[in-house]
Amino acid sequence: MIAVVGCGRVGLPRGLGLAARGQRVLGVDTDVGVREAVAERRLPFQDESAAALLEATVGRTFTMTGDLDRAIEECDTFIIALGTPLNDRLVLEQTALSEVAARLLGRRAAAGSRPPLVIVRSTVVPGSTVGLVRMAERRWGLTPGKEFLISYCPERTLEGASHEIFELPQIIGADDPRSAEAAAGVFRALGVELVHTGIVEAELAKLFNNAHRYVNFALSNEFLMIATTLGAFGHEAIRAANHGYRRGRIPDPGYAAGPCLFKDAFALGQPLAGGDLLLAAWKVNEGLPEYFIQQVERLGPMRNPVVLGLAFKADSDDCRSSLGVKLVELLRLRGCAPAAHDPRVRAAGATDDLEGVLKGASEVFVTVPHREYRTLPWHELTRLVSPGAVIADPWQVWDQGAVVLRLDGPAGLGQPRRTRSQTARVSRAVADQVKSDARRLPFSARSLARSGSSRTLAIALAKAPSSPRSTRSAPSAATSGTEDRARATVGVPQAIASTSGLPKPS
């Protein structure tokens, strides 16, 4: 039987997935709340695929206990999926993991049976699994591959997307053939491709994946800040850069954090006592809340700020290491009394009443693009918030065309937006539009537009008289590309009067 020690957001779905493929699994968790939830056939967190697995396996191939000794007694394979958060020395907290591993490795195999197999699944500082091997050699004189088997098999599924358990290749890190084969046997049941490598290489592969994403997000966020400093619309520049360009693939900017991304750069950088690029990425991503607060403050003192989203990512109920939570804290430090909304995260002072929280809001910070925000019509948002409210949204949930945008005019008369397809058209045909727009402009603006850059066009159009429709209509996908582009682009320099550039680290 397989024991999964630590049945959190990683361990529980993984154990259920193995149980669904016919393995007998014993989940071990010290949290009685987790065990009670499972006994009631309820997931303690949100994950639709895992909920279906739970329904199919609990009481059949999947059971739970709080007693590690029972697991040691009944199981021969142990998957450790304990939490390893960053501690106050900026090192991953692996004490519980080491203690559990010591108890498992100290177990002597019954005569004639296979030695115990320990699979480390938690994210760890590279070298830690080999550290466990050294500990077993030193304390009990045990030989790896002979008296115990050990492997590092990282978790790479997206939190909340447990269907990936049956899709993603599984990396099997082992330094002896017997451990490699035993670990492969566990994951073969899931029908996924197996990728064999050494233990440290497997630890690194996991961290490389997350650090690569994190650094890319940071770069995209820095691109956004550079564009904003120039009064340009960073999203449009990124879309233009990516369009039809196979070597592009710059991700969209936005708040990048969470229990994994936040800490994994530290874990990876540990052997270098930091890692300059990794720390720089951390500084940029973690600085984004402060950056947006500063941008909004430049437009005037904050009166009634609202933070939309406390989860660390869209449509999640997990607020660990969330930048929405951080933004609320930073606003409080400035003496504001921010209201916070999240449809799934229950936290003191937060509400799930979207309409109620937006009523009269004067600054709206969108920290995650939850589907509830995406489905809120722009005209509804502008009707609810106070006149002249400021919307700070790196996600461009409403395609509003400016990352920090002040709604000029009475509430409900927000600036026109561009749809994504309109933006793509604009990106493809900037040069043509410059020419045709120039013909519509008064003579003084036309000379500026002739230079041919979209930035110049923005300035030129900003100087052109607005049509009644462009100043009064709520955002509409039906408005013409030219008019939309003019209004939306004008919104960028207007909204970002002046900018500071780099964020401050917190």
Ligand X SMILES: NC(=O)c1ccc[n+]([C@@H]2O[C@H](COP(=O)([O-])OP(=O)(O)OC[C@H]3O[C@@H](n4cnc5c(N)ncnc54)[C@H](O)[C@@H]3O)[C@@H](O)[C@H]2O)c1
Residues near ligand X (CB under 6 A) are 5-11, 28-31, 34, 81-84, 96, 100, 122-123, 155, 159, 259-260
- DSSP labels, 253-270: P----STTHHHHHHHHHG
CB of 163 to ligand X, least distance (A): 14
**What's the angle, vertex CA 385, arms to CA 379 and CA 389, rounded to 5?**
105
How far apart are CB 30 and ligand X at their closest, in Å?
A: 4
Instruction: Closer to ligand X by CB, 204 or 299: give it.
Output: 204
User: Least CB distance from residue 184 to ligand X, whole Å?
Assistant: 20
Please, what is the minimum distance in Å from the beta carbon of residue 259 to ligand X?
Answer: 6
Least gap, CB of 254 to ligand X (angstroms): 18
Would you say 73 or 355 has its CB closer to ligand X?
73
Using H for helix, E for strand and C for coil, what is the string for 54-87? HHHHECCCEEEECCHHHHHHHCCEEEECCCCCEC
Query: 26 Cβ partners below 8 Å, 6+ apart?
Result: 1, 2, 3, 4, 63, 64, 65, 70, 71, 74, 75
Residue with smaller CB distance to ligand X, 161 or 459? 161
What residue type is assigned to position 363 of the chain?
E
Write phi, then psi, for 153 (nearest 5 degrees).
-125, 95
Our CB check for ligand X shows the closer of 95 and 421 to be: 95
Q: Which is nearer to ligand X, 82 or 492 (CB)?
A: 82
Nearer to ligand X, 9 or 485 (CB): 9
CA gap 459, 499 in Å, rounded:
17
Q: Which two tokens stand for residue 321?
A: 């290491």
Query: Which of the 8 DSSP states describes residue 335?
Result: T
Least separation in angstroms between CB 478 and ligand X: 41
Q: Which residues pair with 130 in a beta bridge?
A: none
Pull the structure tokens for residue 409.
Answer: 């005019």
Residue 285's alpha-carbon distances to 167, 225, 303, 396, in angstroms, are 29, 11, 26, 17
Nearer to ligand X (CB atom), residue 34 or residue 402: 34
| Cβ 6 vs Cβ 315: under 8 Å | no
Query: CB nearest ligand X: which residue?
Result: 8
Q: Name the residue nearer to ligand X (CB basis): 120 or 364.
A: 120
The residue (of 155 and 483) whose beta carbon lies closer to ligand X is 155
Quote the least distance from Cβ 318 to ligand X, whole Å. 7
* Cβ proximity to ligand X, 321 vs 382, nearer residue: 321
The first and second tokens of residue 15, run together, are: 């154990």
Residue among 57 and 473 whose Cβ is closer to ligand X: 57
Cβ neighbours for 411, distance < 8 A, ≥ 6 positions apart: 382, 383, 384, 385, 386, 387, 389
The two tokens of residue 389 are 């409210």
CB of residue 31 to ligand X, shortest distance in Å:
3
288 to 234, 365, 504: CA distances (angstroms): 15, 11, 8
Nearer to ligand X, 315 or 408 (CB): 315
The H or E element that residue 390 is part of is: strand 390-392
Q: SS3 for 322?
A: coil
Nearest approach in angstroms of CB 204 to ligand X is: 14
Cα–Cα separations (whole angstroms), residue 218 to 259, 264, 333, 385: 16, 14, 25, 31
Shortest distance in whole angstroms from residue 150 CB to ligand X: 17
DSSP state of 309: -
- Closest approach, Cβ 410 to ligand X, in A, equals 44
- The tokens describing 239, both together, are 């879309």
- What's the closest the beta carbon of residue 374 comes to ligand X, in angstroms? 23
Q: Cα–Cα distance between 44 and 12 in angstroms, integer?
A: 10
3-class secondary structure per residue, 336-364: CCCEEECCCCCCCCEECCHHHHHCCCCEE
Q: Compute the least distance from the CB of residue 67 to ligand X, in Å.
A: 10
Q: Say how far apart CA 175 and CA 129 lie, in whole Å.
A: 11
Angle at 73 between CA 72 and CA 77, to 5 degrees: 50
Residue whose CB is less far from ligand X, 29 or 437 = 29
Residue ranges in 195-275 assigned as alpha helix (H): 199-229, 234-242, 261-269
